[in-house]
Amino acid sequence: MIQFVFCWVLGISVIPLVWANAIPAGDLEYFMPNSTGFRMQHGFETILVQPFGYDGFRVRAWPYRPPTGNEISFIYDPPLEGFENGKAHGMNFDTAFNGNRTMAIRNGNIIVRTSGWGGNPGGYRLAFYRVEKNESETLLTNEYAPLKSINPRYYRWPGPGSEFSAEFSFSTTPDEQIYGTGTQQDHMVNKKGSVIDLINFNTHIPTPVFMSNKGYGFIWNMPSEGRMEFGPVRNKFTADLATVVDYVIVAAPSGDYDTLQRRLSALTGRAPPPPLFSLGFIQSKLRYENQTEVELLAQRFKDLNIPVSLIVIDYQSWAHQGDWQLDPRLWPDVASMAEKVKDLTGAEMMASLWPSVADDSDNYLELIANGFLSATRSGPGTTDSWNGSYIRNYDSTNPAAREFLWKTLKRNYYEKGIKNFWIDQADGGALGEAYENNGQSSYIESIPFTLPNTLYAVGSQFSAGKLYPWAHQQAIEEGFRNVTETKMGTECEHISLSRSGYIGSQRFCSMIWSGDTTSVWDTLAVQVASGLSAAATGWGWWTMDAGGFQADPTVPWSANIDTPQYRELYVRWFQWATFLPFMRTHGSRECNTQNAYTCSNEPWSYGETNTPIIVSYIKLRYQLQPYLQTIFDQFHQTGRSIMRPLYMDFERTDPHIAEMTRKNTNATTQQYMFGPRLLVTPVTTPNVTEWSVYLPQIGTREIKPWTYWWTNETYAGGQIVTVPAPIEHIPLFYLGRQEDIFSGDVF
């Protein structure tokens, strides 16, 4: 056992560092904190700092009134891994002082120190350091407070109540790179320079979890709306309304992103193993209209011998918003339909639900009478409108409302054989369309605010709006776990699909997808970076609409299945879907000859020459199931990412990767590793027969570790290569042997 005792001297203050005993943990040596934390008080502000998990600290701060103890948190206390031995930290600490002394605690390989700013000798500012193998220290970040500046922790009171808004600033450098932050449609893997509003809406799921190339991870553990700003010298986080500010920082060796993901997921949650059927092909379109159409669809899959694992019924399949059941006039025997689909194809079924409730719904009176609907803080309480009806969303933050929702879904769907649920329009506030009033009037194309200030059981949209999609996922998860009598974190028997999420959404049996995107080439390219940001945020259960969701009105051929231009785009998009955590097609299609209410979107819908290509990728997906199970198991056990931006695996072996990532070049925003062996590069422009790919350097230039999937030609890393990419082939390279990939023996 190694003992460390140090002193930190500033002015006249001399405080012993609260150090730790060294203990072995695998191949590393960790330093157990022998302090439960410190509370620093000065003026009206209180700051509580606690060692948290391995290599981490949790910080909470508040002005005047202490927290109630009922604040919303998205992190586990205690974390899933650490020295806590199952004991929660709560608000515990063992050292208190009033801001005129200094303090330091080491937890594993991270140190927090207090120090003065602005010439003040008091111990106000927090700084976080990583301890290197040689016991030297590297500054990760500190509260940003240059001379004569605004305090790094800034509060103001926008209303008469006790809730405050807060702005917290941290130091950064121009060369720092930021990865994660949820998903945005921005072509960026490195978020440096971004200003991101913490407001969820269709195609944007901003989430304040990120990793830095400096070797730390950060969680802004707040349910409120706000902002993230990543400037050249300052990173700033804003909470619009709060009763406490709460964040966590964890450290790992520089370039060790798997350890960072392990540390972060120990705080926010580990994904359960998905059911095997979900790793196959998911068929959907906007929309299947009735029971007969779905049964004929299943028969066609059987007749053509095309495997399918999940068939989805999309929106407007109900009679009224909030019925949460299929319209019996169009779906007269749901149980018989689900059984027939299963018998013909082996596929499960999924149905869409919206959170919206209209006053003509069968459930409206009971929901409104029990306070299960969210409302607005002023006016008649309606939160949005759809198809000529004003609606209110059910309140996912209310446990009783979640229970009511699940009981209704269980009675109307689950017990009739539809056991998977699509949580659409799950963004919170309204129906998640920030710029359009749902087509209610051709004269109203936008509204002069982001989302209504909705009132929930736990607070307002401003103070707790980011909880809504997470709690909506939770409603389905609670239902799944109760009906299957299984525990959170164990293998999922069923799944949900959500358009939104938040910190720790990966702990649910719930996929997140990238929203209602447009069917054009540039949008395809954007989705790659979006998926890689989702991965860095911790969401391994990610997917998108193969082919895009809807036509771009400025592009005549967009989403039209009878045009050669769109058929080419669809094939390229579909190829890429094979190498995502979940393979899914969906969308609103145009066509020249329409036989149903909505145009087709099935594997055979894109012409005789393209159908064999599409089917070949579906069958390849099923060949890859052992590989998929292996990488999902690693994600479940350790948080190790499934989609892997190039910096995760090659930053330390390839000197070019960091610079290309900093600049968000195509090599780093449109290429990634899918698990440990497959390098995927979707084709994102039309009319190409060859494609250039950057192969990361692994060893010396003489070694040729990369093999092109389609020709078995080998290549050295550290170079750009141009390979044949006819319409039949997505550019795909692998490491090792194909036999190992097909068997799943890859770790």
Give yes or no: residues 284 and 244 share one domain.
Answer: no
Q: Is residue 455 part of a domain?
A: no
Radius of gyration of the chain (CA): 26
Q: What's the average model confidence in pLDDT over 668-693?
A: 98
Residue 29 is predicted with a pLDDT of 63
> Which domain range does residue 315 map to?
276-355+394-428+465-638
* 435, part of any domain: no
Q: For residue 463, which amino acid is it?
A: S
Q: What is the CATH classification number for the domain harbouring 701?
A: 2.60.40.1180
User: Of the candidates 229, 247, 268, which is a domain's last residue?
Assistant: 268
The set of residues, in sequence order, having a beta carbon less than 8 Å from that of 167 and lying 6+ positions away, is 153, 154, 236, 237, 238
Say if residue 249 is in the same domain as residue 220.
yes
Please state, in angstroms and rounded to a whole number, the distance separating the CA atoms of residues 277 and 218: 34
| Whole-number Å distance between alpha carbons of 244 and 228 | 17
Beta strands in 647-744 (DSSP E): 672-674, 678-680, 690-695, 706-708, 714-715, 719-724, 732-734
Name the phi and psi angles at 509, rounded to 5: -80, 65
Distance CA 255, CA 138 (A): 14
Structure confidence at residue 443 (pLDDT)? 55
Instruction: Count the residues in the chain.
Output: 747
Predicted TM-score of the model (pTM): 0.95
Asked if 673 contacts 706 with a C-beta cutoff of 8 angstroms, the reply is no
Domain boundary among the residues 243, 268, 293 is at 268
Report yes or no on 607 lying in a domain: yes
Question: In this structure, are 126 and 169 located in the same domain?
Answer: yes
Give the contacts of 659 (CB within 8 A, at least 6 positions apart). Answer: none
Residues 550 and 418 both lie in one domain = yes
Average pLDDT, integer, range 86-91 = 92
- The confidence score (pLDDT) of residue 2 equals 31
- The tokens for 529 are 């970076």
Count of Cβ atoms closer than 10 Å to residue 493 Cβ: 17
Q: In the prediction, which pLDDT does 449 show?
A: 72
Of 616, 638, 660, which one is at a domain's C-terminal end? 638
Q: What is the 3-state secondary structure (H, E, C) of 9-72?
A: EECCEEEECECEEEEEECCEEEEEECCCCEEEEECCEEEEEEECCCCEEEEEEEECCCCCCCCC
CA distances for 508 relative to 154, 223, 285, 487, angstroms: 35, 18, 25, 11
Q: Quick one: average pLDDT of 562-567?
A: 98
Checking if the pLDDT of 730 tops 60, the result is: yes
Q: What are the strands of the beta sheet with 164-171, ordered from one edge?
A: 153-156, 164-171, 234-242, 226-230, 195-197
Q: What's the pLDDT score for residue 15?
A: 39
Evaluate whether 604 touches 300 at the Cβ level (below 8 Å): yes
Average pLDDT over residues 382-387: 86
Displacement of CA 242 from its chain's centroid (Å): 23
Average pLDDT over residues 147-152: 83
Q: Does one domain contain both 48 and 152?
A: yes
Q: Same domain, yes or no, for 346 and 224?
A: no
Q: In terms of C-beta density within 10 A (0-12 exposed, 13-18 middle, 19 or more buried), how is residue 675 classed?
A: buried
- Specify whether 682 is located in the same domain as 734: yes
Q: What is the mean pLDDT of residues 252-256?
A: 96
- Band of residue 150 on the pLDDT scale cut at 50, 70, 90: confident
Tell me, yes or no, whether 620 and 556 share the same domain.
yes
**pLDDT class of 121 with cuts at 50, 70, 90:** very low
Q: Are 17 and 44 in contact (CB under 8 A)?
A: no
Overall average pLDDT of the 31-36 stretch: 86
Same domain? 471 vs 533? yes
| CATH number of the domain within which 152 lies | 2.60.40.1760
Q: Please, what is the Cα angle at 578 between 577 and 582, to 5 degrees?
A: 70
Please, are residues 540 and 581 in contact by the beta-carbon 8 Å criterion? yes
In a domain, residue 186? The reply is no
Q: Give me the pLDDT at residue 14, please.
A: 34
Q: Classify 182 as helix, strand or coil.
A: strand
Q: Is residue 122 located within the same domain as residue 244? A: yes
The residue-averaged pLDDT of 2-16 equals 32
- In this prediction, residue 435 has a pLDDT band, given cuts at 50, 70 and 90, of low
Which pair of tokens denotes residue 64? 């005047």
Mean pLDDT in residue range 547-552: 97
What is the CATH number for 330? Answer: 3.20.20.80
User: How many of the other CB atoms lie within 10 Å of CB of 84?
Assistant: 16
Q: Is the pLDDT of residue 108 over 90?
A: yes
User: How high is the pLDDT of residue 434?
Assistant: 66
pLDDT digits (tens, 9 = 90+) for 255-306: 999 999 999 999 999 999 999 999 999 999 999 999 999 999 999 999 999 9
Asked if 125 and 238 sit in the same domain, the reply is yes
> Residue 596: which pLDDT band, with cuts at 50, 70 and 90?
low
How many domains are contained in the chain? 3
Tokens linked to 446: 């936008």
pLDDT at 120 over 60: no
**497 strand-pairing partners:** 422, 511
pLDDT band at 438 (very low <50, low <70, confident <90, very high): low
Q: pLDDT at position 184, please?
A: 96
The CA angle 295-296-301, to the nearest 5 degrees, is 100
* pLDDT the model gives residue 7: 30
182-213: per-residue pLDDT in tens? 999 999 999 999 999 999 999 999 999 999 99
N- to C-terminal Cα separation, the chain? 34
Q: Is residue 442 part of a domain?
A: no
Residue 121 within a domain = yes
C-alpha distances (whole Å) from 471 to each of 72, 75, 275, 434, 708 are 11, 14, 22, 20, 44
Alpha-carbon gap, residue 373 to 368, rounded angstroms: 6
**Residue 7 included in any domain:** no
**Which residues are known to be catalytic?**
424, 516
Region 322-331 average pLDDT: 98
* pLDDT band at residue 22 using 50, 70 and 90 as cut-offs: low
Residue 437 has pLDDT above 70, yes or no: no
Q: Assess whether 344 and 492 both reside in one domain.
A: yes
Residue 306 lies in a domain: yes
Phi, psi of 108 (to 5 degrees): 65, -120
